[in-house]
Amino acid sequence: MQLQLHQILQLPTNKSVDAKSQFVHAYVKSNNFHLDRLRQVLEGYIRNLERIKLKSIKKSGFLKQYADACISTTSTNTPASTTRRSRAAADNNMIDNNHDNEDDHDDFNFMLLSFSNMIVEKEAARDALIARVQLFCCEPLKLYHSHCLKLKEEARNRDLAIVREISKQQQLDKMILKDAGNRPKLNQSQMELAGATHQVAHATENLLQSTEKFELKKRQDVKQILSELLWYSYIHLKTANIVDNRSEIKYHSKVLEILSEHHKQLGNIEFPEVSDFMERFKNFQPPLASPTRSLMSPF
């Protein structure tokens, strides 16, 4: 692309001005469109991540609500009863850190709360991924609209210089045909044409340098964006005043670690307290306002 641009810009001006101008403007337009489209795609990706996060948090909240409802139900009219987990902890005077708030909960409640907490922990990692993609992938792409406008302005200045050069060339041709013997005017016209040609060369050189700088920066930025989406990297977040190392692979490895830990924990739950629950259920004393049941009823 870059060699092709150099070759086209260095063609004789008066023979290929239309082709060169069309090529440069098409180059700027294409880059502006595709880089802006890439930014929109990444922002859509972020919105999808945020929607998944909100749905997961909603799921976590429901599981916690379900666990609280189970705790409220199983603790009704059983002030002296405790589960095997809480009795063992009381005998040993030890309570695991993961069960600080579950002294009187059975394994079913613990399973619900543990899974709810796992979702919150997993979505915290997703939230860090969202912030990082926004900062290091979307924000740099927002600058390319102004970069493309600047490049387009330089291409326009070159076009204007070419138009002036063509005009001066036409004036000189007319001067040679009509008044070739007027040396002062002929010399003046030749000097104006030389000045216009110099302006075209200067505008072309500026456009070449700006295009080369733009192309190198674009390729490096897109490479960095794709690397950020994939690979592990350490970057200092000056805006947040922290050091973060989360990227797509880092996020998935963290999530895999969380899911593996809780999958193992979930598989170790066997609900040994079901018999205690059924015993409390059978011995449940209904309130006085409840209808009188038959003495033959087992419950």
Residue recorded with tokens 């809480």: 86
- Is 124 within a domain? yes
pTM above 0.75, yes or no: no
- Is 99 within a domain? no
Question: Which tens digit of pLDDT belongs to each residue from 218-262?
Answer: 999 999 898 888 764 444 334 444 344 446 677 778 888 888 888
pLDDT > 50? residue 3: no
Supply the pLDDT for residue 210: 93
- Is 86 within a domain? no
Q: Find the angle CA(118)-CA(86)-CA(60) to the nearest 5 degrees.
A: 20
How far is the C-alpha of 68 from the C-alpha of 119, rounded, in Å? 17
Supply the pLDDT for residue 271: 73
**Comparison of pLDDT for 114 and 282, the residue scoring more:** 114
Count up the domains in the chain and report the number: 1
- Is 62 within a domain? yes
Question: Which tens digit of pLDDT belongs to each residue from 87-104?
Answer: 444 444 433 444 444 444
- Is 100 within a domain? no
**Kind plus residue range of the DSSP H or E element containing 53:** helix 13-74
- Is 284 within a domain? no
pLDDT > 60? residue 70: yes
- Is 35 within a domain? yes
Question: Which tens digit of pLDDT belongs to each residue from 39-68?
Answer: 999 999 999 999 999 999 999 999 999 998
Amino acid sitting at position 23: F
* Distance set, CA 52 to CA 48, 68, 126, 141, 170 (Å): 6, 24, 9, 24, 66
- Is 143 within a domain? yes
Question: Which tens digit of pLDDT belongs to each residue from 251-272?
Answer: 778 888 888 888 887 788 777 7
Q: What is the CATH number of the domain that holds 37?
A: 1.20.1270.60
pLDDT > 90? residue 9: no
Expressed as residue numbers, the domain containing 161 is 2-77+105-267
